[in-house]
Amino acid sequence: MGNINSKGINQNTYDAIVIGSGISGGWAAKELCEKGLKTLVLERGRNVKHLVDYPTMAKDPWDFPHRNDLTLKMKEDNPIVSKCYAFREDAMHFFVKDKEHPYVQQKPFDWIRGYQVGGKSLIWARQTQRWSKYDFEGPARDGFAVDWPIRYEDIAPWYSHVEKFVGISGNKDGLDTLPDGEFLPPWEMNQAEKMLQKRIMGNYKDRNVIIGRCAHLTQPKEIHLQQNRGKCEARNLCQRGCPFGGYFSSNSSTLPWAAKTGNLTVQPDSVVHSIIYDGKKNKATGVRVIDAHSKKITEYFAKIVFVNAAALNTNLILLNSVSTRFPNGLGNDNGLLGKYVAFQNYRGTLSANIDGFLDSYYYGRRPCAVMMPNFRNVHKQETDFLRGYMVFFSAYRSRGHFAGAEQMGEAFKEAQTQPGNWHVSMMMQGETIPKETNQVSLSKDQKDQWGMPLLSISVDYDDNDEKSLKDFLTQGAEMLEKSGCKNINTNDSKQAPGLDIHEVGGVRMGKDPKTSLLNKWNQLHACPNVFITDGACMTSTGTQNPSITFMALTARAANYAVEELKKGNL
């Protein structure tokens, strides 16, 4: 590498190193620091401090040059990230710009990233549902991927551990397909949604319509007040950074909590090149880092390393961590590193009109939709496709009446002061099946500005996804029709994978080192002092939003790592 700026091994030595400061990295830092470990968190992006670095958090639409919309030039400069719903004038500073961090698309893939302290925890959609026993048992039962090395019972206490600290609003619904958690008071459905709930559940005995579960403080408890977080104000400005700490982010919660211990060091602008492996000790000894601005190289050392760079970047780092022992990437004895990547299918949507309820409205901007847990292939294989999908929907009133062309001038303006008719929008969140052909690798001839190979992505839909999509559109239209909705429209967005921002896999967990990279504690089989607890570790993807599972797996692995350190096993 050359130009090693080590500053002396002792000065650069910690008990633990965490790569990445997002949702899972923040949790690794919190757990490790609380247990007394001097912990270095490396973040490739800039520093972002809670409250201090939320420049748009209180701006009105007219405070933005383009009323918070995107110009044609912005879209031309960012053809990928501009597809993301939250990439607007108020939050684009929290997103990676296309030209600044290129990657290779062997097949179309919209890679949405957030490089800053806090990562995508500042801009995530904040929806949080536990996995059920059926999700962990699915691969073994249905014969896809490999068997998970854990079951729901193994992670359930860690879901509770995380939920109590994060603050999750939700209702106790008593469903085995979507287990209850440690909930704050739920948000409320509006009258039109309650009607849809009643009619759908009346017509289908296997379909449960419930209020969404999300990481918002509807009624803060003492643990949240200790974090200096306050009640969610239902502003729907979350992607700007919340001044109240009303939703969970690393910046407002886990990182400040870790800092209070005195054991945390956060180092932004630190691009991780690779993990250092010592063949004589048969373990990792540290991390090689490139300064984002000066390009100087520094090595940091620790007894354990947690890799939480977000799924695809974690794959990149491990693939780039080559040594005599691991010529194809750290821990990659079986050649599976970077393979079996999965994501979630968001292509299907429906819309319809709802008659009535003209005397009803709703208050605030609720941060969650109504949802329906997966009802396809839950207990046994029932369709011509594997697995299934969750359904989300919301009912809302249009902004004003549009009676026709005769409404001009004063009449038109007056019409806009009154709410219009009710509508419903519905979407799918489908499970995709991990396949060896869905993979990432390192480019052999293209490098980034730090001299590291670009990530090459080859991920696509398959016939199973097409069948699942078709089933959702058919079932969704039927449910809306039976509920009395009119003018039902179905749509396939045909969007590329990646825009779901739920990519997982590449460093999957499993029981057998021949078919997986990680064991049940998220340790690399071949290098057990390296833990992978972000989306890269996932064996399958489920139909739920993934972040709460990342957090629970991280807390579980971090506490195990500390126990093993105390025993002298790491």
Q: For residue range 252-264, list pLDDT tens digits in order.
A: 999 999 999 999 9
Mean pLDDT over residues 489-493, rounded?
Answer: 98
Q: What distance in Å separates the CA atoms of residue 136 and residue 156, rounded to the nearest whole number? A: 12
Residue 101 falls inside a structural domain: no
For residues 97-122, give the mean pLDDT: 98
The encoded tokens of residue 268 equal: 């932004």
For residues 46 and 42, what is the distance between their CA atoms, to the nearest angstrom? 11
pLDDT digits (tens, 9 = 90+) for 435-476: 999 999 999 999 999 999 999 999 999 999 999 999 999 999
What pLDDT is stored for residue 469 in this prediction? Answer: 98
Residue 511 lies in a domain: no
pLDDT at 1: 43
Residue 2 lies in a domain: no
Tokens 């504690």 locate to 521
> Do the beta carbons of residue 447 and residue 316 sit within 8 Å?
no
- Euclidean distance between CA atoms 239 and 501, whole angstroms: 15
Element of type H or E holding 527: strand 527-532
- Decide: 545 and 129 in contact? Cβ < 8 Å: yes
pLDDT computed for residue 413 by the predictor:
77
Say yes or no to pLDDT of 90 above 50.
yes
State the CB neighbour count (10 A cutoff) for residue 440.
Answer: 28
Distances (CA, A) of 224 to 218, 249, 252, 445: 11, 12, 10, 49
**pLDDT of 271-301, one tens digit each?**
999 999 999 999 999 999 999 999 999 999 9
Assigned domain for 185 exists: yes
Tell me whether residue 244 is exposed, middle or buried, using C-beta atoms within 10 angstroms of its C-beta: 0 to 12, 13 to 18, 19 or more: middle
**In total, how many domains does the chain have?**
1
Give domain status of residue 95, yes or no. no
Residue 413 falls within a domain, yes or no? yes
In a domain, 244, yes or no: no
The answer, yes or no, to whether residue 368 has pLDDT greater than 90, is: yes
Rounded Cα distance, 449 and 466, in Å: 38
- Cα separation of 212 and 216, whole Å? 11
- For 393-429, the pLDDT digits (tens) are 999 998 765 555 556 778 777 777 778 899 999 999 9
CA distance linking residue 142 with residue 386, whole number of Å: 7
Beta strand residue intervals within 382-485, DSSP E: 389-397, 422-431, 439-447, 453-458
* In the predicted structure, residue 91 carries a pLDDT above the cut 70: yes
Mean pLDDT of 323-351: 98
Mean pLDDT of 339-346: 98
Inform me whether the pLDDT recorded for 2 exceeds 60: no
The whole-number pLDDT of residue 419 equals 85
Q: Are 318 and 329 in contact (CB under 8 A)?
A: yes
List pLDDT tens digits, range 32-70. 999 999 999 999 999 999 999 999 999 999 999 999 999
pLDDT for the residue numbered 414:
75
The predicted model gives 222-231 an average pLDDT of 98
Residues 163-181: what's their mean pLDDT?
Answer: 98
Given a cut of 70, whether residue 6 has pLDDT beyond it is no
Residue 401: give the domain boundaries.
171-211+347-386+388-432+461-496
* 397 belongs to a structural domain: yes
Q: Which residue has the higher pLDDT, 249 or 402?
A: 249
- Residues across the chain: 570
- The answer on pLDDT for 4 being more than 60 is no
Confidence of residue 189 (pLDDT cuts 50, 70, 90): very high
Contact in structure between 234 and 190 (CB atoms under 8 Å)? no
CA distance 177 to 446: 45
Distance, in Å, from the CA atom of 507 to the CA atom of 509, rounded to the nearest integer, reads 7
pLDDT at residue 479 in the model:
98
Average of per-residue pLDDT across 97-114: 97
In 106-223, which ranges are E strands? 168-169, 183-184, 210-211
Q: Can you say whether the dihedral through the CA atoms of 484, 489, 490, 496 is positive or negative?
A: negative
Q: Is 360 helix (H, G, I), strand (E, B) or coil?
A: coil
pTM, two decimals, is 0.96
- Largest Cα–Cα distance of the chain, in whole Å? 83
Cβ atoms of residues 5 and 297 within 8 Å: yes
Helix/strand number for the chain, H first, E second: 11, 22
SS3 128: coil
